[in-house]
Structure 1
Amino acid sequence: MIDKLLRVGTTYIPVTNVELSSEWYVNKLGAELSYKDEDKAILNFANQSIFLVKSNENQSSNFYDINGVERFSLTFEVNGLSVLKAIHKDFTEKEIRVGEIENRGHSGRNFVFYDLDGNKFDVWSELSPTFKEKYLIS
């Protein structure tokens, strides 16, 4: 047996208001709330646990690359361009701050969206082959 890291189990996201943010993730993204206290909320969605951790103002999971471009730390995958377009439309109707659908020069298309605290996330229209095979998605 070869020991190796198998998956990302939990992602931590800084938020200023755990109550408001957990409601936003549940109502806007369809997350399932499994625990909440004053300092954190544990959400389940996109096949992992997301911890919303109470943080100071003006903190986010974003970072700036060498060229000064703000980057996201997470990309969510969806199964195809039609699903990507449907989610983009749904997010727009739910008044989530979203970017335009982009062609970044690789397979598939992407768009970005933001939560209440400005945490920036990416959505990509391509599922990984391993995920498709494991969950029998065609």
Structure 2
Amino acid sequence: MSHFISHVATLEIPVTNLEKSIEFYIDILGVSLEFKGTKNAMLTYKSKGVPTIYLVQTDETQEISFKNTNNGIIHSIIDFYSPKLEEFYHWLKEKDIPVGTLNISPENGYGGFGFKDPDGNLLSVTNVLHSGQ
């Protein structure tokens, strides 16, 4: 069986204020502005290449997240990686970014937490790297 897809190219995120969101994502995620249109922008991690983050200005105010009906936990659909999970958590709190509970396993030190962008889109960060990352 042949595989036609090799990786995730772009994460598309709806935003209501493009300028505010560009500032947020550059400041909080450390991405660079690759392209900026009147109603959209492409952001990238220069050192890693993929995936890019495509911000699209829209009046649609639906937030990106979902509820796991098995346990009631609200999940993001995007997990970012940080080797300095606790430091990042406290840094976000100092910047008054809405953050969830910092969950770290005492057995292996792996964990993560959620935080929100200016439009209430739920993003997550973890210190877990998977094979090939």
Q: TM-score range by the shorter chain?
A: 0.7 to 0.9
Distance 1:14 1:92 in 2: 23
Q: Could you tell me which residue of structure 2 aligns to residue 136 of structure 1? A: none
1:82-137, Cα deviation, whole Å (9 max, x unpaired): x1111112222222211121147996111111000001011111111221xxxxxx
Which stretch of structure 1 is more off in the superposition, 58-67 or 92-101? 58-67
Partner of 1:35: 35
- Distance change (3 Å), C-alpha of 1:106 and 1:12: farther
Paired residues in the alignment total 128
> d(CA) in 1 for partners of 2:60 and 2:107?
35
- Alignment partner, residue 53 of structure 1: 56
Q: CA RMSD in A?
A: 2.4
Percent of pairs with identical residues? 32
Return the alpha-carbon distance in structure 2 between the equivalents of residues 50 and 69 of structure 1: 25
Match of 2:80 in 1: 76
Q: Where do 5+ consecutive residues of structure 2 fail to align?
A: none
The more displaced of 23-32 and 118-127 is 23-32
Q: Which letter maps to 2:11?
A: T
CA pair 7-113 structure 1, distance change in 2 beyond 3 A: same
Say if 1:105 and 1:119 are closer, same or farther in 2 by CA, change over 3 A. farther
Taking structure 1 as the reference length, the TM-score comes to: 0.79
State the distance in 2 between where 1:4 and 1:105 align: 40
For the residues of structure 2 that align with 1:15 and 1:104, how far apart are their CA atoms?
A: 33
The structure richer in helix per residue is: 1
